[in-house]
């Protein structure tokens, strides 16, 4: 019996195409990629763990051979596919027709090793016709395309896994760098730099409300004696002065007000009226990027929320696939959209012919259609049982798709010039002669003042020479605004334009840069942190090419050449990674050359301070003037919500001038201060005064943040050390906090005391004498501070004895200077000396020194040689 197994990427797609295939076809989903490079230590197979390159997962010494593994969450998928393959007589790989899709098919071949006839099949539309055609036109896997994907994968891995460790060493642990995220962070940082460098300009203008035929309209002063009056766009953002060569006239308050008086004596006469017919065309249907942008602008959804919602709509069959970079509509879709226009708005609202769009984004791979209502007939939003967010998003998609097949809007733009003495006023109006697609959909704008596209601005019928009545007039004050921070939508827009990132990743890019502490989201905008400034400075200085916005575009064109057979992948990767200018050497060189301290700080040209990136977050270091007028060193903690853009001279002084007052201690009546010392923030009870005992002080534990510290918390800290009671054997017992965290102190007498750290589960403020005595009664850990669990003694062939110890990181075997952690699932009961020897031997493989006597070492070496020859 013939039985064909078809593999696609998504289960929803599997379900859909199943309907168009013969009954003896079985369709399963791969759930995306089934193999990848190991993500971290846990995924690296033990057999290669010892290799230097294994951390990267790419053998950089052997032609960049990738190390592929099946990630844990894909094990079941692979098993199911293998099982299904057993009953099949034919395999069809029907993943997407783009670089990643081709690669998925190749990986499936590699891992399933099918013994039956196997073909590659691709389709872009899920219709009976399209699928039949695809079945007739199967082909082989395109290895050049696969090679391009693998090159992309390896390059990204080398980029990320070489640069991130450099940041751990030079800036802070757990930071990350990557082809996409580092450029994104840099975009945010550059915008914030612009905001910092921004100089505000202020100017005045004149505004009048005029009347004719009972229609009032607005008019603004444009020029005076033929000299243009300055407005916002005439100023340079960096200087706050007029742009170079700009000859416009800046009105100040006095001038504006006196001008207003002068003009009130004059006649307001229409000098010229210009009418210009224009048309507006509908925007293309949604891609992932434009959907995220519009949902962010119009529905205030984050990129992630949009995608989660769209995924639901897709799974329920309301829309087509939601991760796409294509604006293409299938014939079926165009027909359905035009039918909607016809029935809902009427024939005259249809565009004269079917409208097809072309992507103008770089790097579009176009494996799917645009995002649109699914099916041959579009369900109108009202005919669905959707509600809330689902309904809003579906409505957005429906309207945008339908509007794309509607007629152009026809408008008339009217510009009127009005002469008033020496002044020239201008008014503009807009009339909509035919609404066309405006009826269904108008794209939102990031600039709220520009979002009135579909609104008319009515002007009365103005004829040259006619005199107008003045209803009111006023002098208006304006100032220029600093450039706005990126919203999620604005960032996604730039990334797409530059070809950085893919539809499946836009939402997670934002997640990554927030997770790594590079940006905060507040009121829908992304503000970069001090860490982002520090990391960007390092990367810009030492790896300028890699954080250039064109890096990805250049990579993409190389990948295109690889997939068309015009470029070889190996030399490409070698140029990137190897040699004098390769990444490997540059990272090593940078690591040796630069002082990390220089990048754990952010300098600001305009501020008398530096911001240092410390383990407790950023803090400020600068100078302040003390009471006697001397400059002294000062430090201050930065509130959590402050970003580089908000830091100005005033704020710096405020932060440095401390001590900040937390309130008054009800017991002593003394003030409690939060201060910043050489070891971090601390609280202090009362003022420092001469001839008086030093005030009581206490460090802030790491988990307490300075900006939301309460008086109560401070007083609790200051209450330490706390007397718990008397020890039965004499002396007293106290609880306190110190360098190593909370501990119990048993003061036996004046010279003698014994201490124990508190256990994790104990609270230093709540611990009582009983518990303290319990902890004190526990034996002090043996020499070396480790608890011996098991002692195997000293085997004959070894120099040292073998022990199992319980340490900070769990159980481990100790033999002389060699230590090996026990695997987590080790059954201690069954663990024998032989097991221990095996583990120790493993550990010794790469080391010169050995627990084994000479002859053993030699035998190890020979074994290793044999292995490397193979």
Partner DNA sequence: CAGTGAGCGAGCTTCCGCTTGACTT
Q: Binding string, 508-547, against DNA, x = CB under 7 A?
A: -x--x---x-------------------------------
**Of 431, 466, 505, 671, the one binding DNA by CB under 7 A:** 505
- In this complex, which beta carbon is closest to DNA, that of residue 398 or of residue 673? 673
Known catalytic residue at 809: no
Q: Least distance in Å: CB of 308 to DNA?
A: 9
Q: Which of 571, 639, 738, 823 binds DNA (CB under 7 A)?
A: 738
Long-range pairs for 697-701: beta carbons < 8 A, 24 or more residues apart: 698/737, 699/737, 700/674, 701/737, 701/741
**Site membership for DNA, residue 666 (CB under 7 A):** no
Residues 618-647 that bind DNA (CB under 7 A): 632-633, 635
Residues 27-86 that bind DNA (CB under 7 A): 29, 31-33, 36-37, 39-42, 55, 73
Tell which one of 22, 173, 465, 592 touches DNA (CB under 7 A): 173
The minimum distance between CB 574 and DNA, in angstroms, equals 18
Please pick, from the candidates 90, 216, 223, 311, the single residue that binds DNA as defined by CB under 7 A. 311
Query: Residue 73 or 703: which CB sits closer to DNA?
Result: 73
Most distant CA pair in the chain, distance: 116
Least distance (Å) from DNA to the CB of residue 560?
14
Query: Which residues from 799-828 bind DNA, rule CB under 7 A?
Result: 805-812, 814, 819-821
What lies within 8 Å, CB to CB, of 797 at 6+ separation is 852, 853, 856
Q: Please identify, using beta-carbon distances, which residue of 162 and 234 lies nearer to DNA.
A: 162
Residue located via tokens 């090996």: 820
Q: How far is the CB of 777 from DNA (least distance, A)?
A: 16
Provide the edge-to-edge strand list for the sheet that holds 810-815.
787-793, 802-807, 810-815, 818-821
Rank residues 100 and 488 by Cβ distance to DNA and give the closer one.
100
Q: Which of 24, 83, 89, 168 binds DNA (CB under 7 A)?
A: 168
The one segment of 158-166, 380-388, 441-449, 460-468 that binds DNA by CB under 7 A: 158-166
| CB-based contact 693:703 (threshold 8 Å) | no
Question: According to the binding rule CB under 7 A, does residue 96 interact with DNA?
Answer: yes
Q: Which is nearer to DNA, 221 or 758 (CB)?
A: 758
The two tokens of residue 561 are 């050449």
* Ordered alpha helix ranges (H), 87-142: 99-112, 128-136
Closest of 54, 72, 33, 31 to residue 157, by C-alpha: 54
Q: What ranges make up the beta strands (E) of 783-868? A: 787-793, 802-807, 810-815, 818-821
CB of 677 to DNA, least distance (A): 3
Rule CB under 7 A: which of 677-696 touch DNA? Answer: 677-680, 682, 688, 694
CB-wise, 199 or 780, nearer to DNA? 780
Rounded least distance, CB 366 to DNA, Å: 11
Among positions 425-484, residues that touch DNA (CB under 7 A) are none
| DSSP conformational letter for 602 | E
Select 248 or 311, whichever has its Cβ closest to DNA.
311
Choosing from 25, 203, 314, 321, the catalytic residue is 321
Contact 426, 416 (CB under 8 A): yes
- DSSP letter at 350 equals B
- CB closer to DNA, 100 vs 125: 100
Window contacting DNA (CB under 7 A); options: 132-140, 173-181, 520-528, 859-867: 173-181
Nearer to DNA, 396 or 718 (CB): 718
Among 179, 297, 493, 612, binds DNA (CB under 7 A): 179
In the region spanning residues 251 to 310, those forming contacts with DNA, defined by CB under 7 A, are: none
Vertex 526: Cα angle to 522 and 532 (nearest 5): 120
Nearest distance, CB of residue 159 and DNA, angstroms: 7
Among 51, 156, 540, 584, binds DNA (CB under 7 A): 156
Q: Binding marks (x or -) toward DNA, 749..788, rule CB under 7 A?
A: ------x-x-----------------------x-xxxx--
Q: Is the dihedral of CA 414, 415, 417, 423 positive or negative?
A: positive
Partnered with residue 520 across adjacent β-strands are 527
CB of 72 vs DNA, minimal distance in Å: 9
Q: Which of 127, 164, 209, 223 binds DNA (CB under 7 A)?
A: 164
Say how many residues touch DNA, by CB under 7 A. Answer: 97
**Which residues make beta-bridge pairs with 684?**
673, 697
SS3 808: coil
Q: Which residues is 254 bridged to in the sheet?
A: none
- Please give the helix or strand (H or E) that residue 831 lies within, else none: none
Can you tell me the distance from the alpha carbon of 559 to that of 154, in angstroms, rounded to the nearest whole number? 12
Verify binding: residue 740, DNA, rule CB under 7 A.
Answer: yes
Using CB under 7 A as the binding rule, whether residue 577 contacts DNA is answered as no
Residue 633 Cβ vs DNA, minimum distance, rounded to whole Å: 5
Judged by beta carbon, residue 483 or residue 785, the one nearer DNA is: 785
Q: How many residues does the chain have?
A: 870
- Distances, alpha carbon 724 to alpha carbons 528, 557, 713, 728, 767, in Å: 47, 72, 20, 12, 8
153 or 473: whose CB is closer to DNA? 153
Strands 525-528 and 467-479: unpaired
By CB under 7 A, the residues from 364 to 423 that bind DNA are: 365
Strand partners, 486: 526
d(CA 618, CA 442): 44
Query: Residue 102 or 417: which CB sits closer to DNA?
Result: 102
Minimum gap (Å) between residue 331 Cβ and DNA: 23
Binding test (CB under 7 A) with DNA, winner from 161, 222, 434, 604 = 161
Distance CA 276, CA 398 (A): 32
Give the Cα separation of 178 and 155 in Å (integer).
10
Per rule CB under 7 A, is residue 317 in the interface with DNA? no
770-776-777-778 Cα dihedral, nearest 10 degrees: 120
Write down the least CB distance from residue 338 to DNA, Å: 28
- DSSP assignment of 271-330 equals EEEEEEEEEEPPPPPB-HHHHHHHHHHHS---HHHHHHHHHHHHHTTSBS-S--------
In this structure, the strands spanning 25-29 and 4-8 are: parallel
420 vs 758, beta carbon nearer DNA: 758
Going residue by residue from 584 to 603, which x/- string records binding to DNA, judged by CB under 7 A? --------------------
Q: Please, what is the minimum distance in Å from the beta carbon of residue 351 to DNA?
A: 30
Question: Least distance in Å: CB of 276 to DNA?
Answer: 43
- Output the CA–CA distances (angstroms, integers) from residue 275 to 278, 417, 451, 462, in the order listed: 10, 12, 22, 11
Beta bridge partners, 26, equal 5
The binder of DNA chosen from 232, 544, 565, 741 (CB under 7 A): 741
Stretch that binds DNA, among 278-286, 427-435, 738-746, 854-862 (CB under 7 A): 738-746
Q: Is 323 one of the binding residues for DNA (CB under 7 A)?
A: yes
Among 205, 429, 436, 503, binds DNA (CB under 7 A): 503
Give the residue among 203, 204, 205, 207 at the shortest CA–CA distance from 473: 207
**Which single residue is written with the structure tokens 């505004």?**
207
* CA distances to 171, 197, 657 from 687, in Å: 36, 39, 15
Q: Which of 98, 150, 234, 498 binds DNA (CB under 7 A)?
A: 98
Residues numbered 233 to 262 that lie near DNA (CB under 7 A) are: none
| Residues noted as catalytic | 321
């Amino acid at each position: 019996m013939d039985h064909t197994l078809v593999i696609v990427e998504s289960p929803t797609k599997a379900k859909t195409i199943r309907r168009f295939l013969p009954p003896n076809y079985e369709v399963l989903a791969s759930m995306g990629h089934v193999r990848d490079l190991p993500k971290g230590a846990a995924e690296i197979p033990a057999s290669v763990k010892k290799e230097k390159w294994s951390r990267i997962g790419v053998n950089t010494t052997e032609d960049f051979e990738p190390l592929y593994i099946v990630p844990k969450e894909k094990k079941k998928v692979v098993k199911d596919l293998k099982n299904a393959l057993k009953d099949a007589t034919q395999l069809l790989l029907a993943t997407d027709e783009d670089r990643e899709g081709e690669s998925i098919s190749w990986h499936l071949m590699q891992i399933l090793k099918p013994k039956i006839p196997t073909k590659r099949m691709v389709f872009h539309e899920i219709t009976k016709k399209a699928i039949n055609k695809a079945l007739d036109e199967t082909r082989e896997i395109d290895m050049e395309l696969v090679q391009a994907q693998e090159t992309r994968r390896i390059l990204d891995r080398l980029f990320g896994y070489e640069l991130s460790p450099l940041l751990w060493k030079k800036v802070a642990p757990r930071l990350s760098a990557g082809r996409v995220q580092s450029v994104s962070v840099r975009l945010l940082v550059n915008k914030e730099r612009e905001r910092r460098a921004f100089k505000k300009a202020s100017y005045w203008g004149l505004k009048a409300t005029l009347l004719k035929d009972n229609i009032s309209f607005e008019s603004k002063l444009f020029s005076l004696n033929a000299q243009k009056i300055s407005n916002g766009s005439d100023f340079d953002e960096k200087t706050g002065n007029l742009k170079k060569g700009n000859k416009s006239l800046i009105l100040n308050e006095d001038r504006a007000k006196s001008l207003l008086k002068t003009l009130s004596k004059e006649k307001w006469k229409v000098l010229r009226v210009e009418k210009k017919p224009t048309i507006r065309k509908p925007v293309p249907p949604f891609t992932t990027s434009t959907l995220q942008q519009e949902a962010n602008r119009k529905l205030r959804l984050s990129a992630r929320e949009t995608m989660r919602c769209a995924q639901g709509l897709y799974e329920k069959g309301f829309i087509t696939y939601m991760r796409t970079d294509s604006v293409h509509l299938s014939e079926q879709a165009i027909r359905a959209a035009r039918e909607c226009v016809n029935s809902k708005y009427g024939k005259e609202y249809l565009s004269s012919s079917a409208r097809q769009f072309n992507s103008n984004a770089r790097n579009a791979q176009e494996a799917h259609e645009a995002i649109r209502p699914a099916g041959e007939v579009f369900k109108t939003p009202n005919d669905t049982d959707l509600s809330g967010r689902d309904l809003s998003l579906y409505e957005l998609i429906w309207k945008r798709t339908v509007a794309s097949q509607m007629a152009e809007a026809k408008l008339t733009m009217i510009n009127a010039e009005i002469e008033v003495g020496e002044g020239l006023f201008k008014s503009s109006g807009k009339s909509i002669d035919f609404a066309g697609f405006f009826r269904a959909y108008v794209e939102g704008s990031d600039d709220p003042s520009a979002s009135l596209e579909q609104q008319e601005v009515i002007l009365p019928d103005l004829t040259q020479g006619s005199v107008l009545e003045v209803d009111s007039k006023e002098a208006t004050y304006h100032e220029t605004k600093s450039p706005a921070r990126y919203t999620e939508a604005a960032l996604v827009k730039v990334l797409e334009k530059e070809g950085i990132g893919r539809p499946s990743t836009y939402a997670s890019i934002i997640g990554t840069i927030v997770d790594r502490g590079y940006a905060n989201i507040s009121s829908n905008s992304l503000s970069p942190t001090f860490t982002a400034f520090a990391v960007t400075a390092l990367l810009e200085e030492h790896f300028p090419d890699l954080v250039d916005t064109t890096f990805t575009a250049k990579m993409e064109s190389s990948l295109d050449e690889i997939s068309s057979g015009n470029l070889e992948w190996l030399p490409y990767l070698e140029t990137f990674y190897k040699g004098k200018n390769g990444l490997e050497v540059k990272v090593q060189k940078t690591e040796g050359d630069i002082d990390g301290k220089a990048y754990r700080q952010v300098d600001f040209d305009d501020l008398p301070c530096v911001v240092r990136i410390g383990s407790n977050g950023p803090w400020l270091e600068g100078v302040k003037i003390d009471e006697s007028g001397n400059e002294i060193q000062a430090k201050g903690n930065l509130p959590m919500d402050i970003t580089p853009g908000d830091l100005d001279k005033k704020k710096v002084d405020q932060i440095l001038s401390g001590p900040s007052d937390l309130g008054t201690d009800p017991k002593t009546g003394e003030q409690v201060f939060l201060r910043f010392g050489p070891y971090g923030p601390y609280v202090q009870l009362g003022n420092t005064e001469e001839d008086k005992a030093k005030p009581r002080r206490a460090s802030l534990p790491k988990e307490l943040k300075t900006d939301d510290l309460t008086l109560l918390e401070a007083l609790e800290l200051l209450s330490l050390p706390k007397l718990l009671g008397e020890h039965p054997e004499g002396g007293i017992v106290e609880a306190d906090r110190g360098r190593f965290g909370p501990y119990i102190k048993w003061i036996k007498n004046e010279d003698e005391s014994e201490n124990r750290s508190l256990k994790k589960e104990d609270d230093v403020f709540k611990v009582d004498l009983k518990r303290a005595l319990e902890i004190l009664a526990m034996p002090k850990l043996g020499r070396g501070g480790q608890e011996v669990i098991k002692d195997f003694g000293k085997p004959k062939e070894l120099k040292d004895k073998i022990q199992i110890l319980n340490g900070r990181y769990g159980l481990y075997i100790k033999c002389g200077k060699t230590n090996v952690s026990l695997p987590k699932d080790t059954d201690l009961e069954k663990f024998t000396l032989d097991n221990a020897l095996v583990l120790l031997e493993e550990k010794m493989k790469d080391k010169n020194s050995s627990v084994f006597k000479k002859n053993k070492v030699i035998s190890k070496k020979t074994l290793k040689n044999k292995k490397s020859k193979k």
